[in-house]
Chains A and B, each alone.
Chain A
Amino acid sequence: MKTKTYQLLLILFTISIFISCSSDDDAPMEVNEEETITTVILSVTESGSTTTELFNWTESSQDPITLKANTNYNIKIKFLDASNPDDVDDITQEVITEKDEHFIFYQTTVSGLTFDNASDDTIDSNDIGINISTDWSTGDTTAGTLKAFLIHEPTSKTGNTRDDFGGETDIEVDFNVAIQ
């Protein structure tokens, strides 16, 4: 009985060691973060014009935006995952697909700069535009910051400040804006 139990224990342990060691020294697979947004692009089009200027925000460089005073613009926002430069994902499509769970919002220190949904904005199932496409009007010459938010699962989609929407901030980026 006794020796048998000893033997059993020994066998169990030996097996377990073999099992543990048989998984080799294979290198683990690297993980490239999915659903990461690396780049925010604002496509800015002056009213009545067909030329569109792109302003990129990445962690390493942020394009300054220059707008004309007292002018109307359309701004479309785009989110890219460019963590693999050879395979850039457009996350904007995901945001549009899950429009009920997303909301884009802007805050600015630029006086006179205001925005509203554009007519071609993405409308969610509650008839609320989620601000993928927005119309802007500028005031007098000045300068300041434009902050863009992508909010996930906002508690409300109506309001005037970031606090009104709740939810989690997926994106919060600052652009320097000069109104000339």
Chain B
Amino acid sequence: MVFLLSVTLSSAQQCDKILTGKVIDFHDGVPLKGATITFNNQTTVTDINGNYTINELCAVSYAFTVSHVDCNSQVFTIDMSKIISKDFYLEHHYTDLDQVNVDGPFQKKTTNSQAEEKLSRKQLDQYSNLSIGDALKEISGVNSLTSGNAIVKPVIQGLHSSRIIILNNGVRQEDQEWGEEHAPNLDINAFNEVRVIKGAGSLQYGGNAIGGVIIAENKLTSLRDTIFGNTQLAASTNGRGGSVNTALNLGFKKGWGAKIQGTLKHFGDNEAPDYMLSNTGHREQSFSTAFGYNNFLYGFEGYYSFYNATQGILRSSHIGNVGDLVRAINSNEPLIINDFTYDINAPKQETQHHLAKVKFYNRFKNLGRLNLQYSFQYNNRKEFDIRRGDDRDKPSLDLELSTHSLESNFLFDSNDNFKKNVGVQVSYQENIPNPDTGVRRLIPDYKKSSIGAFAITEFKINDQITADAGIRYDFVNIDAKKFYKKDFWDERGYDTNFSNLIIGDFGDQWLTNPDFEYNNISASAGINYTYSNQNSLLFNISYVNRAPNPVELFSDGLHHSAAIIELGDLSFDQESALKVSLTSEHNNIFGIVSLKVAPYLSSIDNFILLEPTGLDFTIRGSFPVWEYRQTNALLAGVDVDFGVDITKEIQFNTGFSYIYGQDTTADEALINMPAPNVRSQFVYQKEHWNVKLTNTSVLKQSRYPNNDFETSFIQNNTTVTRLVEISEPPSAYTLFDLSGSYSFGIWNPKDLTIMASITNLFDTSYRDYLNRQRFYADNIGRNITLNINYKF
């Protein structure tokens, strides 16, 4: 590992020179004890104060290789005819390019005092033909909000969409995440690791993450000459399709590194146990590449990723009016069931996401590290409804979102006991809805500028207690151009409060220029107390604000997939959340048991929710009107993880989560709160084998607001009134999954893994409360997947 550059030694010279000095940690200036200095097969070791003395040197140039455990060896060439003392600096805290967090690389967690979980590449591999949302369900307290099988949004402790930040390799993903049927536009195979911070206190990423942060990362390899990668093939019976993904990593000892990765997915219609789920196929093509350089002092990285997906929406979920909804609810089966096909017709979504970033860091002696990053994202979302005539192939929604972001932070990490991180983020975003759709814009043209600044610190109080604190300020300006129908404008009372926003008169529509500013202060503080034998207690309190998103402010029309009219409100204030969380972690009870209990309580003022307020009669029939409203909400819950090693080979683990969500103003339950659920697993692991039996049990959500409404029909020549039961959550269900994998070596040990899995083993018919298509069809049935992963 340590190469010695030999130096010719001339025997004619006088060899009585002495070299003295210290070996010092570059990062914090601390002298390194036990560092070795090697030259010409001789080795000297530094003493407790980092001092060394080398005698009997000749007056020539020497190459000294200086090494220390955990440090990168460095070679220094010194001309002994000129120098008699020299201090060697070694980088003690050398890490990969991507390190934005306060914590050093030796800690596993990103945050000090918040509940945090991660999924490794190995866990992600099992989901290579699915999505990040599917994989994250492995984590207790993380659920998914779905629209069918392929559109999966993560829900962290009951909150989702605009209340969650997703970091795509250090860049905050901007992909119209406000929509409940807008899945994150990223490929699960592009990342080595996905972390979930179940809390609001990660202020370095953004001020509005009331729900939490998902950090998806992929680090470059460097500082060794290497080439490695993998190719993975997965084929599934349900959807009769599969995926292929391949990744290649290059690393060079001199500090260069590169990576290239791509995924293709192709699926046809999914199947529920009793019928085909027509028009639920999906396609995905994605690609990412990164290159970078890093050395002792500085490094940079360029990253580009592309994601392109087409996702079919269950045909029978496209409905015309309330009458159609009632028919769908009353029918046990979807009203449209066709033969299996790979074709994807309307209704469907086509999404594209480009992300490019450049990042740079520089280290300063005895001080810390400066990071600078610029990123650009372009997102295009097209949604196709079933339309007639010339508009048949036109999307009903076509949004282009461009986001520029420049951020910089300085991490003062020279003192391990007192770290500080300060930074600023400036971003500019422009949303352009294409007017050629012939459908009035769901969200308007807008320009959003934001500036955020944060300061966070982490300090050791004693060996057991580490405290953290942070503060963040965010300024958000939304400058929108929006058309309002004049009658609607008056009906909402905007003519009295917002008449100054009108900038144009277009017949029956006003052109308005809402230009709103939001100033948000967020703060967070916590402690991490570690005690006897791997136990820890984390406590965090955070106060976070979120500015309303464009839908909450501006929406004013029919939402087809839900058959409801959604109305936003221009007068909304930001949401303010105060969250207290506690995590009690015991990793080693009697050597075999681990237990983690994480209760939390979150009180959110001005919580924005959508609730029904009446019926609107249109030429298409009647529609329930849902209005966004601000209220005060209380979310309380607990996540419990328990694991036990039954034998050396067999492990049992289980995760449970419960959430209580209450609208404290209206004194009723919050809608769409995940039902109590348990996920349990028996894992058998021996040598080449890994076999898992997983059970997922979801109880019926008994706490829900009553949003049922009445509508009238003509039946046998008389008008009858029927209750439309949209509120009651579906029944409880329990599902079993079985998977087994076998790893063996062809050229290298364990370079080939073959995995077979069966999800929904007993082909159980069920519906899930957080699936937006629960009114129309069952969830998917049994799925057998064969997965071959070859590493090279």
Spell out A's residues near B (CB within 8 Å): 1-2, 5-6, 8-9, 12-13, 16-17, 20, 23, 27-31, 33-35, 37-38, 40, 57-59, 94, 97-98, 101, 107-111, 144-145, 147, 152-153, 155, 161-163, 166-173
Contact = CB atoms under 8 A, between A and B. Distances in A.
A12 B373 CA distance: 11
A160 to B, nearest CB: 10
A13 B407 CA distance: 11
A161 B372 CA distance: 66
Contact of B389 (A6, A13, A98, A153): A98
A169 B321 contact: yes
B396 to A, nearest CB: 10
B435 A29 contact: yes
Contact of A109 (B404, B438, B714): B714
A57 B476 CA distance: 46
Interface centre among B372, B374, B376, B620 (most CB of A within 10 A): B620
B425 to A, nearest CB: 13
A153 B386 contact: yes
A23 B714 contact: no
Interface string B420-433: 00000000101011
9 contacts: A9-B374, A13-B404, A28-B481, A31-B483, A35-B391, A168-B321, A169-B319, A169-B320, A172-B323
B750 interface: no
Interface string B388-422: 11010000000000101010000000000000000
Contacts of A155: 335-336
Interface stretch (B51-59, B439-447, B773-781): B439-447
B388 A98 contact: yes
A30 B506 contact: yes
B646 interface: no
A20 B430 contact: yes
Contact of B336 (A35, A163, A166, A170): A166
Given A5-B300, A28-B444, A40 B358 contact: no
A65 B432 CA distance: 46
B289 interface: no
B505 to A, nearest CB: 10
B718 interface: yes
A173 B483 contact: no
B621 interface: yes
Nearest to B433: A28
Contact of B435 (A17, A31, A147, A170): A31
Contacts of A145: 714, 719
Nearest to B392: A98
Given A30-B483, A30-B511, A33-B438, A16 B376 contact: yes
Chain B at the A interface: SS class: strand
A107 B504 CA distance: 44
B362 interface: yes
A94 B391 CA distance: 11
Contact of A1 (B298, B402, B444): B298
A28 B324 contact: no
B440 A33 contact: yes
Contacts of A109: 714, 717-719
A171 B621 CA distance: 6
Interface string B325-364: 0010000000110000000000000000000001010100
Contact of A9 (B372, B404, B713): B372
Contacts of B406: 13
A155 B334 CA distance: 11
Contacts of A57: 619
B358 A8 contact: yes
Contacts of A169: 319-321, 323-324, 620-621
A84 B21 CA distance: 88
B8 interface: no
A28 B391 contact: no
B714 A107 contact: yes
Contacts of A8: 358
A46 to B, nearest CB: 23
Across the A-B interface, give the 8 residue pairs with the lowest CB-CB distance, nearest first. Answer: A172-B621, A168-B320, A34-B438, A169-B320, A107-B714, A29-B435, A28-B445, A30-B506
Interface string B763-786: 000000000000000000000000
Contacts of A17: 404, 428
B369 interface: no
Contacts of B440: 31, 33
Given A29-B435, A33-B440, A34-B438, A172 B321 contact: yes
B360 A5 contact: yes
Contact of B717 (A101, A111, A153, A170): A111
Contacts of A58: 619
Given A16-B376, A28-B441, A171-B621, 9 more contacts: A30-B509, A35-B387, A37-B619, A40-B619, A59-B618, A109-B717, A145-B719, A166-B336, A169-B621
Contacts of B107: none
Given A31-B440, A163-B327, A169-B323, A16 B404 contact: yes
A167 to B, nearest CB: 8
B404 A166 contact: no
B717 A110 contact: yes
A41 to B, nearest CB: 12
B411 to A, nearest CB: 17
B163 interface: no
A168 B318 contact: yes
Given A30-B509, A35-B388, A171-B620, A147 B504 contact: no
B532 interface: no
A167 B388 CA distance: 14
Contacts of A171: 619-621
Nearest to A28: B445
Given A168-B324, A171-B619, A161 B715 contact: yes
Nearest to B479: A25
B85 interface: no
A9 B503 contact: no
Contacts of A147: 714
Nearest to A85: B507
B231 interface: no
Contacts of B388: 35, 94, 98, 101, 152
Contact of A38 (B430, B506, B619): B619
B345 to A, nearest CB: 11
Given A30-B483, A109-B714, A111-B717, A166 B335 contact: yes
Contacts of B681: none
Nearest to B300: A5
Contacts of A16: 374, 376, 404
Given A30-B483, A173-B619, A20 B335 contact: no
Contacts of B439: 31, 33-34
Nearest to B327: A163
Contacts of B320: 152, 167-170, 172
Given A23-B430, A35-B438, A173-B619, A168 B404 contact: no
Nearest to A107: B714
Candidate in A8, A13, A111, A168 with the most chain B CB atoms within 10 angstroms: A168
B437 interface: yes
Interface in B503-528: 503-504, 506, 509, 511
Contacts of A153: 386
B147 to A, nearest CB: 18
B446 to A, nearest CB: 10
Nearest to A146: B714
A35 B372 contact: no
Contact of A31 (B391, B441, B718): B441
A37 B391 CA distance: 14
A170 B620 contact: yes
B435 A27 contact: no
Contacts of A108: 714, 717
Contact of A2 (B327, B362, B428, B503): B362
B389 A94 contact: yes
A5 B444 CA distance: 37
A166 B365 CA distance: 73
